[in-house]
Every structure is written in structure tokens, then in C-alpha cells.
Structure 1
Amino acid sequence: MTVSTQRHGAALLWIFIASGFAGLIYQSIWTQYLGLFLGHSAYAQSLVLLLFMGGMAMGAWFVSRRSDRMQRPLLWYAVIELVIGVLGLTFNQLYGASTSFAYDVLFPGAGSQASVGAIRWAISVLLVLPQCILLGATFPLMSAGFLRLRPDSDGKVIAGLYFTNSIGAAAGALAATYLLLPRVGLPGTIFTAGLLNVLVAMAVYPLSKKEATVATAPSAPTDASGVAPSLILVAAAVTGLTSFVYEITWVRMLSLALGTTVHAFELMLAAFIAGIAFGGLWLARNADRIRSPLKMVGWVQVWMGVAALGSMFVYANAFEWVGWLMRVLTRSSEGYSLYNVSSGIISLLVMFPAAFFAGMTLPLLTIILLRSGAGERAIGRVYAANTLGAILGVLLAVHVLLPVVGLKSALWIAAAGDLLLGIVLLRRAARNGTASQPAIAAAVTAFALVASMALVQFNPLMLASSVYRTGNTSLHDDTNMLFYRDGKTASVAVYATGNDKTGKTLSISTNGKVDAGLTASLAEAPRADESTMVLAAALPLALKDKVDQVGVIGFGSGLTTHTLLGSKRVGQVDTIDIEPMMVEGARLFGERVERAYKDPRSHLLFDDAKSYFSSARKKYDVIISEPSNPWMGGTATLFSTEFYNFIPRHLKDDGLLVQWLQLYEINPTLVSSVLTAMLPEFNDVQAYMANQGDLIIVASPKGKVPPLKDLFSRDPQLRAEVTRVGFGSLRDLHDAYVLDRQGLAAFASMFPTQANSDYYPVLQLNAPMSRFKNDSVMELSHVLKAPWPLSSSMSDVPRRALESPLPATRRELANDRKFHAARELREALVTGNPVRGEFASRDDAMMLEALRGLAQTCKLDEAPAQSAEIILSLAIETVPFMDASANEDMWVKPAWLGDCKPSHPLVVDALALLAATSIDDHLGAIEAGDRLLSGPDAEFILGNGNASYYVWGAMQFAAYRLHDPQLSHTLDAKFGNKIAPEVSGQIPIRLVRSLASGERSLPAEQAPVAGGR
């Protein structure tokens, strides 16, 4: 072999690494694109695998029939890489145009859900299959061209190419998610892959001129095994089938331990491919020394089956490892990076051994045919048979094994297939004098199958533990697992915790993540989740007199649908969920959700929401979007610009979107990315807090969101549901109101970020880290607790009156405790009784006693700084949480002063400010605040945190209520630089100043993607 040939061979290996790198970028990004169209990442993963493997089988088979007659296979390889590249460069535009045509034209005219499904899958196939066929042609063409350069090293060539292509693929899977997607989005990532293919074509073309101009004739047989080619092709198909059953099963298994995030999936994929790559590498270094490839491949199949069964034992410990990681890693960005590295290592421990042997099977089977004299066409034939088996493996795993027999049995059955295939191949090789080896393999097989089935248990309490969130490796031992099924898209569990004394809670989880928790009995106090699900249904029914058609996205426990059907004013409820097992499992909630199943107005549908709405040929009065958490794979698309652009087309002119958004395990910037996506698409938006961790947004695309009305009296069943969670009256609903459209825009502008988009998935990429860090968005709760009545001023609702009863069952809203505490403090100050201390803090009680003592001894003027500080501090806890009449004898005409009339300007101005803010005298508040901040005691006010916080915020709030942005700017110019940063940086101050000044424009929206929706 010449030095020139060596150089050309090395160049081709590097080029094939780049080709594999681009190929797995395609697989990863196609999964993202088709997930948008098919509605769930699990369906997209399965379809892309099918098309990827099926297309490659077709391409390889086509080449196998013509390879011997090709004069220059490397030239053809370059041409195909160029075509793949051009298709990659234009994929985003093709996707946008075809899916837009489907949503706007094909789906509305389809006539049935079956037709819509057929159209959806057909378009997905047409978008991806052509490139997959071309990709399938690349390996046999490259192999044929390389073999003509090095015809004396068939084993090294085939295994070496298999290694280089696979290791490039593993790198591509990681680069797509961790490097490219965050920076250039889906369009830029797939454009990069296309550009890389073009560069590969340009690099191969000069090398193709060096290849032989005639095909290499089939060589004389060099292996005396005399094995039938049909057996080798069957073996290739079987090993392809089992390998992909392993992959599908391992991904689902590891998702339960590591989480169903985009990062976790790509790490698993990379681990699987890395195992295959290094199996090919080992073979490349040893292939030419193997005397009997048939015996070798027989043992490889046996050890692959044993390794797959062994992965069960490793996996059983994965929950302990993840639990340990969650306990020891700091919840930070660095900690998340370490978690991802550790997740990759765990994935390798589970997948690598079996994948390593899988990486040897295809090259070995190809070598057997090459040495039997089959010629170059053997490469394509084996490759095609292997990929056809892979297609069957994906279909069998997704549609039969996982739903019918579950994770453990699916893996066991696939391993049994590999073990039996190994015995068959060894028996065939035994004709040449190795008769004892099949018996040894049979003994190993029997032991491995029996041991794995007997010794490994996949405890549902472990699988449903959500260890990747909580660090707990199992649910409590007293948990009663009522339902556990592996569906096509997720593993669903329903279980009961607690007992008759403490109260039982029923929970339903998806891949370990609890999606809903309810008390088993209505006699028990409601759980936090219940207020979210009930309020999502109750709000639109308090806004609209009649609701003929309601669409609900996401079934969850079924409580939202059940609550809606408690109203006679509802005509029909269409509840759409993509996973049938979710609906099946939720039946165990029994009477708590029975209307969702038994009421004739309830229609339960299993489909992608966007596809269903496009084909439904009707418009809705209300659409409620209540999916799972946005860090879970595929869910973030229900919080995107494209989704919010799509929904208004399926609402009536006065229709409403009700959107749930979590405020736990997420940060303010990610919430801002959702608001930045939503607000431009809706004319009016209002936000409510169901509890401190859940936001309910009501949006109208064309008109105004109607005012809340007390409509529950007509619907006793509905009233019972909402009263139980603390929203039984109109006043209770008003308490949950937090911000209007302007307020939400101001909040978004405080945390500027790119809008979450299907094509630029800010939420999908960043929410997993936020979940790991256990972030939370407390800023909106701070708005409810703000010392100026921000929320009530936006809804034009009077502040809560003293005679208005507070709900006894609700303790979830941030302002609930404030209402109670304000009443306690007022009662104590006005009546002279001690503070009860049930809700008011000890510090507030002590301040109140001190203020009363100063008033009773007429010493307010003797300690003006202390008096003003106490007055302004107590104002923070009282003024916004009572109406003007309640504030009358506390701050407007303070009864507690008695005959004492303070005269010190600091005390007088502090009381004047409180009197003005209590009765919404905004000009009076500006004047009193100005005197406090510019008078002789200004230094004290500015240097006191509570005092400056209240005074500065009250002035900006007054400017906001006067609708005078210029006044806000004037105040800012006069006092802004004097306010301490720790005061001006507080969320309520920033928000009220943004509202007052008009500086609440949303961040610049992402430039539209060519062809995108």
C-alpha cells in the first residue's frame, strides 16, 4: 500500500466522521421538527428512527444491486452528499410551507380524525424519507470506494468506516443539542448540517479521481464456512431488530431515572451510538486476524444478549446513583453540568456493553459475505437487512412490547432473541469442529435468562419516584400503587399516599413527574393542585354567561373537565390528550372526576391538539391549555409563539384562551419568554394566581376579557367545587387577580429574553436546568403582597372590605395571610387590645405596641424618626389590604392618636402620605412623598429601607394611577439616584416604576423564520 493510498484512506475516514456528524444532527433535529407536527416527541422519535433506518435500508439495498457496476462509487458518494446538503439547506422552508398547507387547507377538509392522522404522517414521511434514502446509500458507496483503495484489508475497512461514521454520529447528537440549538435554533442547526454535507461532497470529489475506473470483481471465497447468504441476512435483520428494541426500551427506562428532557435524550442517544462506534473500532483493529467470522459473530450475539440482560442489574442501581447525585450536587449551573456528565456516564454504564457488541455484528456479517465471494454488493445487502430489522424493532417496541409486556419483559425478549441467534450461528460454525461451543452458549443463555428474570425486579415504587427531581429513590413504602402502565409515549402511574387518619391523596404521574394530586375524599382539605385545576375551569365560567364549546388540552387527573361539566351553561367539552394511558389511569380518581367520563357532554380524544383543532371545523368559546411542565420533552411547544398564533384561529370572536403556567422549577426569564411569545398575539390578557406556584392566564385575541361576574349561583355543583378550594365568591376570585396585559408586559420587560418559539426553543433548552436548580418565580406573589394596591387597581375592583368574609379553606395565595394580618393589626390599634398574633408577625405586633405607647404618651414628636419608621412600616402591612372605610380610623383620621396631635413635619407628612394612599388621593400622595424625600429629614427616609421603599413606591404608584408618564420621569430625575439600589431593585418597585413610566414594551421579537408558522 502506497503512502498516497494511506493519505487518501485517512482523509476518507475523517470525511466519514463529518458525514456521521451531520447525519445525527439530522436525526436529532428532524425529531424536533416532526415533534412539533405530530404533537409528541415520543412519536417523533419513533417515526424518525423508522424513516432513518428504513430509508437507509432502501438506499443501501439500491446500491447493493448496482455497486459492482459502478465505475466510481466515491464520485457517486460525493454527488449524494451534495444532494443531501441541498435538501438540508432548504429543509426549514420545505417544512414551513408543507405544514402550513396542512393546517390551513388539508386538515380542515380532511373529514375525519383518521384522515388527519394519515395526512400528518404522510407529510412527515415525505419531508424526511428522501434524505434518509440518500443517507443509506452513503455507507456502501464509501465502503466500496475505500475497498478499491485497500482491497487487501476488507475487515479493517468495513469496521473502520463503521467506527468513524458512528463516532461522528455520537458527537453530532451532542453538538446539536448543546452547541447548535441554543445558538442558532432549529433552522440554523439543520442549515449547518446541510452545509457540512456540501463541504463533505467538495472534499470527496478530488479523492474520487484517484479511485479505480472499473469495479472490483467478486473475490474468490477465502472463508471455508460455506454459510448461506440468506442466514447472514436473517442474522443482520434480527440483530438490527433487537438493537433497536434495546434502544427504545433503554431510553424509556433511563427517562424514569434521569428525566424526560431533551438533554437526557441526546445523552442516551450518544451513549448508545458511542458503544456501537467502539465495537466497530475494536473490530477494525482485530478483524483481519479473525479466522472464523461466523463463530465470532455467534459469540458476539451471545455476549450482546448477556450484556443486555446485565443492563437490568445496572439500571436497578441507577436510581440510587441519581438520588446520590441529587443529594450531593449543588443546585447551580455548574451542578447541572455535572449532572449531565453523570447522566451520560450512567447511560454509558447501562447501554455501552451491549451496544459495543452490537457495533461488531454488522461489520462481521459483512465480512462473512465478502470472504464468501459475494463482492461489494454484500455491503449494501447486509446494511439493508440490518436496517429493515431495525424498523421492525422500533414498531415492535413502541406498539407491542412496551404497552403489552412492559419495560423489563421487552428487554428480556430482545435479549433472548440475540442469545438464540448466537446459538444458531455457533451451531452452523460447529460443522467445522467446534461442537462444544453451542452447548456452552446454550448453558450461558439459560443461566442469563433465568437469573435476570428471577433476580431483577423493576419496582413501580422506584420507577415512579421522580428521583431526578426529589432525590428520593423510591416512593414511601406505605404507598399503594394502583396503576402502572407503559404507554406508547410515557409510563403512567396512579398511587395513593396517606391513610384514613391523615387523609389519602391520589396522584397521577407521567414518567415519574406528578401531573396532578387530589384528596381521595371531598371531606379532606384540598391539595394545592386542586386549586389550579378548579380555577382553570371556573375562571372562564365566571367571565362568560354561556359556554357552548370548550376545548381542554391535557387531561391530567380529569378534574378540570369534571369541574367544567359541573355547570349547566357548558354545552360540550372536548378534552384532548395524546397518551391513552393517562385517561385510563385517571379513572381511579373515581367520583372526584366522574363527570369527565360519564357526562354525555364530555368527549375524550387522543390526538395532537393542533391537528385536532385544525380538523375539527368548529370554533370554541374557551380553550384551556393545561399541559405538563415545559421542561418535559415536547411540552414547551404549547408555550410558543407559533402556538399562540395558532390558537386564536380556533376561538370565536369573543373566545378566551385559558393558559396554565408553572411558577415553580422555572425562573423569571423563562416565564418572560412565554409572555413575550403570548402577548403580541392577544389584545387583552389577565393573570390570576391559583396558588403561590401556579399562574392562570386568561387571554382574548380580539376584544377585552369580560369582567368577572358571580355566575356560580346557577350551578350548585360548580359552586361546591370552587368553594372547596377557596374561590366560592366573586370577591375570592378578585383576590387571585395579579396583573393585566400592561402589567405582564412590564414584568416581561424586566427580564428581557427571546420569545419562546418552536424554532428557537428557549424554554425546552433552558427549563431542565431551571428544574434542576429548583428555581421559582416569587416575583408575582410579591406583586400580590405589594404595599400599594397594584392588582386591585388593574382590575378596577375595590379593596377587600372588613365585612367581606375571608375564605376559611384557602391558605395558598400570597395575600391571604396579609388580609388576615391587616385586620389583626387594625383591630389592635383601634381598640387598644393586644395583637392576637395568629397572622401578624411578632415584629409587626411589637411595632404596633410601640406606636400605641408613643401616641398614648404624646411622644411621637419626641422621637420623630422612630415614629415615622413605625408608621411607614405598618402601612406596608395594612393600607393595600383594607378598603378606605377600614383605613379611615387607622390612617385617614387615626382614632388611636386620641387627643395627641403630632406637629413634627416628619410624622405629619408620614401620616399625610398614608391618609392619601388609603383613599387613593394620588396627587396628595405625590405631595406628601415629595415633602418626605426633599425635606429636612430626607436623609433619614432615604437611608431607611422600609421608609424609602414605601414612599418611593407610593409616589410612582400615584403617577401610574394618574396615567402621567412624564410625572414618573420627573420624579425619577429628582429622586431616582438617591434611592438605594437594594430598594429600587425590588420587584414591586421595578414593576410599578415600569408601569408609571410607560417603559414596558416587550423585547424585540424573534425575526420570523422563513416558511415557519
Structure 2
Amino acid sequence: MGITVDLAGSAPETRRSPVSSTWVNGLVLLSGCAALVYEISWTRQLGILFGHTSQAAAVVLASYFGGMAAGYAVGARLSRSVSPLRGYAIAELVLAGWAFAVPPLLHQMSGSSLLSLVDGLPPTVSIAVRILLTLTILSPATIAMGATLPLLARHFSDTAERPAAATSAAYAWNTLGAFTGIASTIGGLLVHLGVEKSSFAAAGASLLCGLGALGLAHRREPIVRSSSKEPAVPPPSAEDRARFRRSLTIAALSGFVTLGLEVLASRLFSLVFHNSTQTFAIVVAVFLFGLSLGAFLASRLMARVSPESLIRYGLWIGGAGISLSVVGFAWGTGMEYVRLGPTFSAYILRSLAHVVAVLLMPAIALGIVLPAAWQGAGSTRLSETVGRLTLANTVAAATGALCASFVLLPWLGLWRSVGLLSCAASAGALLAGNISRRRAAVSLTACLLSLPLWLPLSSALSRSSATQASDFRGLVERWSSAERGEALLRRWETPYGWIDLTQSDATNAYRIRQNLHYSYGSSGEDVVRERRQAHLPLLLHPDPRDVLFLGLGTGITSSGVLPHPEVQTATIVELIPEVVTAAKVLAERDGRDLSDSRLAIEVDDARHYLRGTDRQFDAIVSDLFVPWESTTGYLYTVEHYRAARARLRPGGLFCQWLALYQVGEAELELIADSLASVFPHVTLWWGRLSAGRPIVALVGSEERLAIDIAQAALRFEKLAADRRFGDDELSAPAKLLDLWIGDWPTPSPTALLNTEEHPWVEFSCPASHGSRLTLSGSRLLRYLDRRLLTLPRTALQIDGPVDLQDVHWQRFVLFPTAP
């Protein structure tokens, strides 16, 4: 006799041991942890395919949330006829199985010509095709992921005395699991285990959840009825339908406000944090923790407080809390950069305290709303209610995140966008039950608390400190003027943050900055050094005709090609469109010409551009980037260097600029070893001989660099006649060679390398920076003596007579008083 599996779970008359909610909640906790690991891992893998642009991130977000929303609908439908724990188990097993297949599928797509075809489509069509591709790859997993919640609601409908409270508690445990997922992933899982392997670990967790649920399904307390189908529910009355529509609207509003607020909060803290992956994770983690506490609170209060009251108080407190916390944070900190502590751990704790003070209370309040909406939806089946309301919540959440990035911030700016979400939450409380004068007054009062975020009492661009003091939006400019000694001339609100053009009060020099504290460069004393970042690699190549710059910044570096008559084309790839606009405005103000016919600017992700183009270059120059930011950390990986090498002509060179004051010894050696694992020859050169802010260039090439002294002398004579050159430290071949530090050796086969799978630099750099272990001052001196001055000097072929300074001359320039 064969064995059959009855998904409907008939035979209720057989008694089994009851299933403790503790075991179910344990599975839900593990499932939530896996879900966040999936999201982080898959987002990174898809970012490599589509580029790390804001549009690519939006594609992944829309696809991920879209699949989960569909899953809620599927789960609600399945819950009518499938044994809930068995259905939950099957969903987790499907999720695990497909999760194991996602990385191979992405690799297959990366190796095909499909992406090149997609990139060649019109922008709107390209985005639509990317969404379709992402949905195709992720949907089986994300639909299964979303289906689990309605099935859990059905399980609690069968077994719990208070099903809505039990489902809310499970939802809270799931969200708490998401909190642990992001904490463990960013805390070390991602870099130590690997990006792809993290998703495999999450698939293993999903597999455990599925097997565990199957085990619990065999022990569950039977339902005393002839089938597992839920009992018939009387047709809803007109009042029931109205309650459901209100709950549906409230669930959607809650999702829109909640995820929109998360996006705006991340933008807010980017103005004061150093914006490593860790600090971004803090914002998301605190938000998830607050939402889980809110859901726990809702599950406890449901027996004593009506759902309408829970919704009202959640939205009132959430709306008012958004405004009060943001205004209080801005006034309290003056939007100053959160200073480093004695260690990186101290910095993280300080950052965590800021985020908790601003976000935790609004997140808890908003976390109450969705579970309360489930309970207040009326007399429909709980599983169907949870499925439909969570679907609306999820779709609205994705819409809120996209709208905050691409609509609210560009149109309203940060402060008014926060104010709008605050008002939306406060006014939304009126949807919960009948409107009375008292409730309307409370909502109006909560809305009025956002008034400082709205009132344009004066122009934020005014240079009068007295005027700025009366304008909340001028607070940042007041700090900027007082602390930085500069005035804001123009601001662009972008999905990547604020892009500002400022002018120094002391020197009248112009500067482009992002999010207040990250400077792209200035037209003051940095001009010579910024142009040198173009001059040095061009002078190391005997005949550079086609040049590629990765990063535009101020445009000063790329304009350094203009005095070089050999250069026929210079292509500049810049990620942020508004940086291009700012650089052009800056060029007009300081008399430079970015409209030269040899210059061409492409708005794209650097790695994505290298993968998609078939052009060949004589020199590729990678600008200074902050190594620990997730959108730039991949520019120091082995895979990126391979992509660059593939785009070089024979005899070409790749130049990686690196600020030593941003990295420690370990990170410098990681980056240098990663470059040297791709290029047979790597040489190091000084870009700025400064003990406090040293800059070096790592130059990789297929063959030994060769400098013909006579030919180089002729090039220097021509450059000296061009007033746009003006670099005394590069006025002759001998002075160029004085900047040569030495050759970086080929790493051993067991050397640690920075890869897309193991992004060590992105995670270790902020720790070195936060613990003050970067290479400047005395640390640079010790490393100079121990390593840099002992490097071999054989990879450079010099043809012709020249006076070479002893390499220890560099030590004297850097540290003239050191013994």
C-alpha cells in the first residue's frame, strides 16, 4: 500500500500533541533573519549586473517587494484549502530550493549578451525589461516568502484563543528576525562567509524552517471538523465592507509612510555619519527593531484596546514623533559631523544612540498600525485579511520608498518631505472610526508639529546669519557658514543626497560637496593636486590618445587632459547626473572649459560602463573614492580591475588613486595586492607628499613602464608653455621620477584579496578610520620606514640620462624633523 501526503490534513479525529506557539515563533524568527540576508545578498549581486545606480536599486526594490506582495495574495488563497503548517513548510522549502538557484542564474545572465542588449534600449524600456528580468529570477522565492504570513494566520485561526494577537506576535518575531538578519550580515557574515554564500546560508535556514514546520504539522492539535477548510463566513454587510476598506487604506498608508520614512531617515543620517555600510545598517536595524516592538505591543494591547484606538494612537504618535525627533535632532546637533571616538566601536555606539533617539519612538508607534488594522478589518477570514492588507501595505511601502527617493526629495527637499509624511500619518488617524471634533483636533495638532519643517521663513541660500537663524532649512547653511567658512551657492536634491556648490569666505574658492561633509574637491589650492591626478598617469604613457576617467567630481582632474596634445578623446564616467551639472557650473565660474570637443561625459556606474563598452583605452584613471561606501567599495575589487584590464590597449595602464589618510596598512595592502593579482606590474607614486593627507597612485600595466627621457623632456617643454598645466612638481622628467615610490610585488597565492564575494576593504576601512589607524602622521612614518621605502625599484625602464633622487628624499619631504 502506497503512502500519500494529504495537504488538506483530513482525519481530524486522530489526536496529536498540541503545537506550542513558541516553536512556531522560533521558526518565524529564523525565517525573518533569512529574509533580510536574502535581500542584502541579492541586492548586491544584482547591483553588479545592473550597476549601483539609484535606478538599478529601485528596480531591485520594486521586484523584491512585488514578488512578496504577490505571495501574500497566493498565501491567502492557499490558506482556504491547505493545511496551514504543511503549506508553510512547502513555501519555505520552495524558497530554499529556489534561493540555491538564484546565484547560478545571475552568473548565467552576467555571461550572456542579454544585458548588453538591455543597456542599448531606451531608458524607460530598459528599466521595464530589468524589472521583468529581476522578477523572473526572484519571483519564485519572493512569492514563497510572502505566502508564509497568511498561512501562519490560518494556523493561529485554528489553534489560538486570540488569532489576531497570535498572528501579530508572530509578525513581531519575524520582524525581529529581520533585525537579527541585518545585524549578523553586516556584522561579519557578508564579508567572512561571502556575498553569495550568505544567501546559501539563508537558504539553509529556510530549509530548516520548512523541515521544522513539517515536523510540527505532524504534531498539531486537530481541528474538530470534517475538513481543514475554514468554516463558512456569512456574507459581509455594508458596514463590514466599509470597515475592511478603511483597514485596507490604513494598511496602505502605514506602508507608504513607514518605508518612506526609512528612506528619509537614511538620507538624514547621511548628513552627519561617515556613511559606511555599518552606519547605514544601524538606521535600518533600529527601524526594524522599533517595528517589531510595535507589533509586540499591539499583540499585547489587543485584548484591552480597540483596534481603532490602537490605529489612531499609533498614527498620531508616529506622525508627531517624526516631526519632533527630526527637528530636535537637527537643532540639537546643528547637523555637525558625528566625530570619531577613541575606537570604531565607540563611534558605532555614538551613532546608534543618535539613531535610537530619533527613530525608535516613531518606528514603535508605526509598528502598531498594521497588526491593529488586521484586527479591525471586520469579520472576514483572518488569513484572507492578513494576505490582502499586507499586500496593500507592501505595495504601498515600495511605492513610498521609490516616491521618497525620486519624487519627494527632488521636488520638496528633505525637510518638507519629512513634514509631508508626518502630516500624512497624523491625518490618516482620522480614517480609524468616526471623525469627532476631538480626534480632528488631535490630528491637526500633530500636523502642526511639523510646521518648522514647512515654513520658508527666509531663503535658505541667504548669506546673512541672522536671516538663516529664523529658517529651519537654513540651519545647515548657518552651520556651514560658521564652521566651514563657506556659503552655499546652489543645492541639488538627488536620490544620492545633497549635492552642493559652495564658496569659501576666505579665499573665494569654489567647492562641490555631497551631504555636507564629503568633498569632491575645490578650485582653491587643491587645483594643482587634482590636475596632477590626470598629468601623472598621462606622462607615464608614451602616447596616450584615448583616456577614460572613472569619476568626474569637480571636473578639475579630467580637465587636466586639455594641455596634453596627444590626447584625442577623454571619456568621463560619473554616477550622479547632478554632479555633472554642478561641475559644469563650477567650470563656468572659475573659467575652465568642460565643453572641449575632446571631453565626453557618460552618466553611468563605472563598473557597469566597463562591462558594457567595447572601446579600448590607453589609460584608465580611477579617481579618489571613499573606500568604505557600498556604492564605491567595489571599485577596489579584483573583478573591477579585471574589467579595466580588458578595456586597455597593449601598452595601456590603469591608475588607481588612493588617499592614505582613509585607509590603514591592511587596506592599502589589500588594494595593492588585489591590483597586483590582475596586472603583472604595479608601481606606486606620490600624488601629494603630505604627512597629514598623503595621496598615492597605484599604476598597473601589462608590461614594464618605460620612460624615454628625451621624449619626455619634449613633452614637458610643450606643457610648460601651456598656462593650463602649471605644476612645478611635474616640470621635468627628473621631478616625475622623484615621485616614484617603488614596485608592489605580486601577491602570494594565499594572499587575502578584495573581491565582490568578500568585500574586505568596504568593511575594514571604516574600522581603521574610526579607530584612527589610517596612514597619516606617525603611522605613515613607521609604515614608510618598514615597507614603502624598502620596495624594489625595477619595474620602471628609464631610457636616457637622468638624475634620480635617493628614495629616502621622500621621507625627508614628508617628515623633515623626524630622526
* Closer/same/farther in 2, CA of residues 325 and 510 from structure 1, 3 Å limit: closer
Shift of 1:618: 1.7
Determine whether 1:217 maps to 2:231.
Answer: yes
Match of 1:563 in 2: 560
Q: Which one is further off, 716-725 or 93-102?
A: 716-725
Match of 1:72 in 2: 83
Match of 1:739 in 2: 742
Aligned partners of 2:127, 2:652: CA distance in 1, in Å?
Answer: 27
| Structure 2 residue corresponding to 1:253, chosen from 251, 268, 286 | 268
Match of 1:412 in 2: 419
* Closer/same/farther in 2, CA of residues 711 and 319 from structure 1, 3 Å limit: farther
Q: Which has the higher helix share?
A: 1
SS at match of 2:546: strand
Give the unaligned 5+ runs of structure 1. 466-473, 521-525, 807-812, 822-838, 844-945, 947-1013
* Closer/same/farther in 2, CA of residues 320 and 337 from structure 1, 3 Å limit: farther
Question: Given residue 251 of structure 1, which amino acid in structure 2 is its aligned partner?
Answer: S
Aligned partners of 2:209, 2:478: CA distance in 1, in Å?
Answer: 44
1:283-294 alignment, distance < 5 Å: 283-291=298-306, 293-294=307-308
- Equivalent pairs: percent with the same residue? 21
Shift of 1:207: 1.7
Aligned partners of 1:7, 1:712: CA distance in 2, in Å?
Answer: 82
* Closer/same/farther in 2, CA of residues 705 and 324 from structure 1, 3 Å limit: closer
Give the unaligned 5+ runs of structure 2. 1-14, 456-469
Aligned partners of 2:335, 2:568: CA distance in 1, in Å?
Answer: 51
1:92-171 alignment, distance < 5 Å: 92-102=103-113, 106-107=115-116, 111=120, 114=123, 122-150=132-160, 152-171=161-180
Q: Which one is further off, 188-197 or 92-101?
A: 92-101
SS at match of 1:775: coil
Determine whether 1:815 maps to 2:802.
Answer: no
Match of 2:258 in 1: 243
1:545-584 alignment, distance < 5 Å: 545-584=542-581
Q: Deviations over 1:396-442 (max 9, x none)?
A: 1111111222111111111221122212x14x424xxxx33333224
Between 1 and 2, higher relative CO (CA 8 Å, sep ≥ 6) is seen in: 2
SS at match of 1:632: coil
Aligned partners of 1:4, 1:314: CA distance in 2, in Å?
Answer: 56
Shift of 1:185: 1.6
Shift of 1:797: 8.1
Aligned partners of 1:122, 1:225: CA distance in 2, in Å?
Answer: 37
Match of 2:47 in 1: 35
Tell which structure's C-alpha radius of gyration is larger.
Answer: 1
Match of 1:920 in 2: none
Match of 2:784 in 1: 782
Determine whether 1:229 maps to 2:226.
Answer: no
Match of 1:9 in 2: 21
Match of 1:698 in 2: 699
SS at match of 2:745: helix
1:593-608 alignment, distance < 5 Å: 597-608=594-605
Instruction: Report if aligned partners of 2:344, 2:768 keep a CA contact under 8 Å in 1.
Output: no
Determine whether 1:710 maps to 2:713.
Answer: yes
Q: Deviations over 1:360-380 (max 9, x none)?
A: 1111111122x4334431110
Match of 1:199 in 2: 208
SS at match of 2:729: coil
Shift of 1:779: 6.0
RMSD: 3.5
Q: Deviations over 1:622-669 (max 9, x none)?
A: 211115210122211011011111112212222221211221121111
Q: Which one is further off, 171-180 or 91-100?
A: 91-100
Determine whether 1:478 maps to 2:463.
Answer: no
Question: Given residue 207 of structure 2, which amino acid in structure 1 is its aligned partner?
Answer: V
Q: Deviations over 1:430-462 (max 9, x none)?
A: 4xxxx3333322432343232553588244647
Give the aligned length.
773
Match of 1:645 in 2: 642
Q: Deviations over 1:529-561 (max 9, x none)?
A: x44432231133323454332211111111121
1:170-185 alignment, distance < 5 Å: 170-185=179-194
Instruction: Report if aligned partners of 2:324, 2:450 keep a CA contact under 8 Å in 1.
Output: no
Shift of 1:316: 1.1
Instruction: Report if aligned partners of 1:113, 1:615 keep a CA contact under 8 Å in 2.
Output: no
* Closer/same/farther in 2, CA of residues 38 and 233 from structure 1, 3 Å limit: same
SS at match of 2:757: coil
Instruction: Report if aligned partners of 1:19, 1:197 keep a CA contact under 8 Å in 2.
Output: yes
Aligned partners of 2:102, 2:256: CA distance in 1, in Å?
Answer: 29
Match of 2:444 in 1: 443
Match of 2:671 in 1: 674
Instruction: Report if aligned partners of 1:159, 1:281 keep a CA contact under 8 Å in 2.
Output: yes
* Closer/same/farther in 2, CA of residues 449 and 323 from structure 1, 3 Å limit: closer
Question: Given residue 280 of structure 2, which amino acid in structure 1 is its aligned partner?
Answer: F
Shift of 1:41: 7.1
SS at match of 1:476: helix
Question: Given residue 289 of structure 2, which amino acid in structure 1 is its aligned partner?
Answer: A
| Structure 2 residue corresponding to 1:366, chosen from 368, 371, 374 | 374
1:487-526 alignment, distance < 5 Å: 487-499=494-506, 503-520=507-524, 526=525
Match of 2:360 in 1: 352
Aligned partners of 2:258, 2:562: CA distance in 1, in Å?
Answer: 47
Shift of 1:38: 3.4
Aligned partners of 2:329, 2:45: CA distance in 1, in Å?
Answer: 31
* Closer/same/farther in 2, CA of residues 711 and 127 from structure 1, 3 Å limit: farther
Aligned partners of 2:588, 2:471: CA distance in 1, in Å?
Answer: 37
Determine whether 1:724 maps to 2:727.
Answer: yes
* Closer/same/farther in 2, CA of residues 488 and 717 from structure 1, 3 Å limit: farther
Determine whether 1:298 maps to 2:303.
Answer: no
Aligned partners of 1:225, 1:311: CA distance in 2, in Å?
Answer: 37
Q: Which one is further off, 590-599 or 282-291?
A: 590-599
Aligned partners of 1:784, 1:278: CA distance in 2, in Å?
Answer: 52
* Closer/same/farther in 2, CA of residues 116 and 745 from structure 1, 3 Å limit: farther
Q: Deviations over 1:955-1010 (max 9, x none)?
A: xxxxxxxxxxxxxxxxxxxxxxxxxxxxxxxxxxxxxxxxxxxxxxxxxxxxxxxx
Shift of 1:768: 0.8
Instruction: Report if aligned partners of 1:574, 1:605 keep a CA contact under 8 Å in 2.
Output: yes
Shift of 1:123: 4.1
Aligned partners of 1:174, 1:295: CA distance in 2, in Å?
Answer: 33
Shift of 1:384: 0.4
* Closer/same/farther in 2, CA of residues 767 and 786 from structure 1, 3 Å limit: closer
Tell me the TM-score normalized by structure 1: 0.71
Aligned partners of 1:464, 1:676: CA distance in 2, in Å?
Answer: 41
Instruction: Report if aligned partners of 1:554, 1:576 keep a CA contact under 8 Å in 2.
Output: yes
Shift of 1:504: 3.4
Shift of 1:263: 0.4
* Closer/same/farther in 2, CA of residues 456 and 402 from structure 1, 3 Å limit: same
* Closer/same/farther in 2, CA of residues 697 and 532 from structure 1, 3 Å limit: farther
Aligned partners of 2:816, 2:274: CA distance in 1, in Å?
Answer: 41
* Closer/same/farther in 2, CA of residues 121 and 780 from structure 1, 3 Å limit: farther
Instruction: Report if aligned partners of 2:621, 2:656 keep a CA contact under 8 Å in 1.
Output: yes
Match of 1:380 in 2: 387
Aligned partners of 1:700, 1:116: CA distance in 2, in Å?
Answer: 35
Question: Given residue 782 of structure 1, which amino acid in structure 2 is its aligned partner?
Answer: L
Question: Given residue 483 of structure 2, which amino acid in structure 1 is its aligned partner?
Answer: H
Aligned partners of 2:55, 2:126: CA distance in 1, in Å?
Answer: 15
Instruction: Report if aligned partners of 1:460, 1:484 keep a CA contact under 8 Å in 2.
Output: no
* Closer/same/farther in 2, CA of residues 394 and 687 from structure 1, 3 Å limit: same
